[in-house]
Structures are given as C-alpha cells and as structure tokens.
Amino acid sequence: MSEPTVYNIQYPFSGGNSNGQETFPGQPWDALYSDGSAPWDIGEPQPAIVRLASEGAFTGTVLDAGCGTGENTLHLATLGLPVMGIDVAETALAIAQAKADERGVKAEFAATDALQLELLGCKFDTVLDCGLFQALDVIERSEYVESLASVTAREAILYVLCFSDDATNANRYSVNQDELEAAFNASTGWTITAIEPDRFHIREHNSGAPAWLATIKRN
C-alpha cells in the first residue's frame, strides 16, 4: 500500500485578523494575489462547486463570500444566476472583473469585509463560502455568522467548503465538524443540514485536499 499523501498546505502568513489589518499591514491576502502565489487559485471553479451547481443547489440571488479571483462566482454567473463576489483583496477583485469582462460574463464584484456584510445593503438567497470560514479565528467566525444573517432571510442556504481535519490534511486551516457546529447552530440562528466529505483543489494536488462541504440553513 502506498504512503498516504500529506497535504502540508502552508500559507505564507499566520494568525491575526483575516482582513490583514492587524497582523500584516499592507493587505496580506492581496499580496498573495499580487505575487500569484495563492495555492487555492487554480484558474477554474472548484469541482465541488461545479457539481453542487449542476445539482441545482444555487437558487435566487447568490453571494460568493471571499470570492478571490472569481472562478466560482463566474461559473455561477454563466448558469444565469445573479451573483455578487466580495473579497478584501482588491487585486483578486481586479483579476475577477477582468476575467468577467474578457469572458463577457455578467457578475458583480465588491471590495467588502465579510464581517461587515450589512454594508452591502442587500439580501441573498444562497451564499457560497469557499475557503473563507476556515481562515477566520473563533471571534471572527462569530462576527461572520452575524454578518451573514444581515444579508440573508429565513430559509437562505449557505454552502461552506473548507479543508477538513482528515489525518493527512496537516494545515492550520483544517476545520473539524465541531467547529462548524459551534459557529452554526440554533442559538446563532442556523441549522446544519449536511456535512459531507469532499475535496478542496489546490495547485499542488490535482485530486484536491480532504474537505468538508457543509450545507447550512438560516432559521
């Protein structure tokens, strides 16, 4: 039997506020896009999101929270969904907008902190979180959950794709099911309806790293 693959995913930063204002002045997320080193930026939508979309999981207006360079946003837009991608990394957003223009795809992109979504002043029926929740610390997660509530109504659906705590998945962004349940539960106004094993594709591993795909409903 061959040795299990160890997914030693090192992002070139650690700790601090996810929007980078505290620990890494000068936008660390943005820097990863400026120098082209973002490991998750695979130049195509995540296969798990493509599959979900093909199953009709995305309906109504869609928010892609932490959209990066917009491959998932643009995929959903090509299916005819009205979709907005938000991110704190302005370089990523500029790349996303350039792709949209180049491909003739209509999608909206905005520089917005996911912890302050109320500033958008609009509501969404479905929210995609592909790799953002895993990057937030416990306090940020709690702010994020409240922030999500400000842009959704009852019955809205949130999909979270995050690195899982699979034994081979050694990285500081791994999420276990308890962490998902601690953030999204009856007391915070959400119900997790499914947590399924999936894959999160990154540049180094064509078959992707072990991930959870959580389906979460707003109560």
- Residue 8 or 191: which CB sits closer to ligand SAM? 8
- Residue 138 or 186: which CB sits closer to ligand SAM? 138
Question: Closest separation between CB of residue 3 and ligand SAM, Å?
Answer: 27
Ramachandran region, residue 189 (left: φ > 0; alpha: ψ -120 to 50; beta: rest): left
- Residue 4 or 25: which CB sits closer to ligand SAM? 25
Question: Closest separation between CB of residue 21 and ligand SAM, Å?
Answer: 9
What number of CA atoms fall less than 13 Å from residue 176's CA on the CB side?
4
Binding site for ligand SAM (CB under 6 A): 18-19, 29, 40-41, 46, 66-68, 72, 86-89, 92, 113-115, 130-132, 135
- Residue 3 or 99: which CB sits closer to ligand SAM? 99
Distance CA 10, CA 1 (A): 27
Output the CA–CA distances (angstroms, integers) from residue 2 to 33, 164, 207, in the order listed.
35, 21, 16
Distance CA 160, CA 130 (A): 6
Question: Closest separation between CB of residue 153 and ligand SAM, Å?
Answer: 21
Distance CA 189, CA 182 (A): 12
To the nearest 10°, report the CA torsion of 50, 108, 28, 116: -100
Distance CA 134, CA 124 (A): 21
- Residue 3 or 207: which CB sits closer to ligand SAM? 207
Question: Closest separation between CB of residue 19 and ligand SAM, Å?
Answer: 4
Question: Closest separation between CB of residue 168 and ligand SAM, Å?
Answer: 19
Question: Closest separation between CB of residue 83 and ligand SAM, Å?
Answer: 13
Question: Closest separation between CB of residue 18 and ligand SAM, Å?
Answer: 4
- φ, ψ for residue 146 (rounded to 5)? -65, -40
- Residue 53 or 114: which CB sits closer to ligand SAM? 114
Distance CA 14, CA 100 (A): 31
- Residue 81 or 132: which CB sits closer to ligand SAM? 132
Residue 38's SS3 state is coil
